[in-house]
Structure 1
Amino acid sequence: MLRISLLICGLGLTAIGMYLWIRDKCAFQPFLIWGGILVVAVLFERWRYRRNEHNHDRPWQSTGEKFEDPETGQTVEVHYDPVTGERRYMKK
């Protein structure tokens, strides 16, 4: 929801800047600059921090750790990737 709100604000600022530019006002630059920065930042954040799913082919090893997930009540087993050290919590 926050992402959509920021995107709408950025597009709104950009639209105001474009309107002022077309009307030949001198105060259009901050609207265009900050609106453009906001739109690019929101879109870049979505691309940059997406989940990386390409490492399914590596062998995950069990650590022997098990615990009960407090939200679902299911048993969770901890696995790790010996190459990267990444840990995964897999429900049984």
Structure 2
Amino acid sequence: MTQNGRIVALVVAALAAIGGVLMQAAGKDGGGFPLFLLAAMIAVGTVFDAGYLERRRRPRGTWQLTAEREIDHQSGQILEVWYDPISGERRYLPTGERPD
């Protein structure tokens, strides 16, 4: 999940939790509990997303320089292609720069 997707999911979970608490407080039949439970599942699933935790634990410096080169047609710079074998992500950076 992307960083923006994670933020949206947590905002939706927070709004659902607030709605569940308000429904529970307003009614006597426990109608807000399922909404609160759904919010809790969304929050836990988002926070403990396996891909997110794996990216947080991975050591720095896993990027590998490939033999590929590209030309940025806007700036005319030569770009080197860096590859992360853990996530499969590729980055195109000007010659001499390293990914973080």
TM-score normalised over the length of structure 1? 0.57
Confirm whether residue 7 of structure 1 aligns to residue 19 of structure 2: no
Q: Taking structure 1 as reference, are residues 53 and 74 closer, same or farther at Cα in structure 2, changes over 3 Å only?
A: farther
Structure 2 residue aligned with 1:69: 72
Distance across 1 between alignment mates of 2:56 and 2:15: 29
Aligned length: 88
Alignment gaps of 5+ in structure 1? none
| Aligned-pair Cα RMSD in Å | 3.8
Bigger Rg, structure 1 or 2: 1
Structure 2 residue aligned with 1:29: 33
Asked if the contact 2:65/2:80 (under 8 Å) is kept, the reply is no
Shift of residue 75, structure 1, vs aligned partner: 0.8
- Identify which of 69, 74, 81 aligns with 1:78: 81
TM-score normalised over the length of structure 2? 0.54
Letter in 2 for 1:44: F
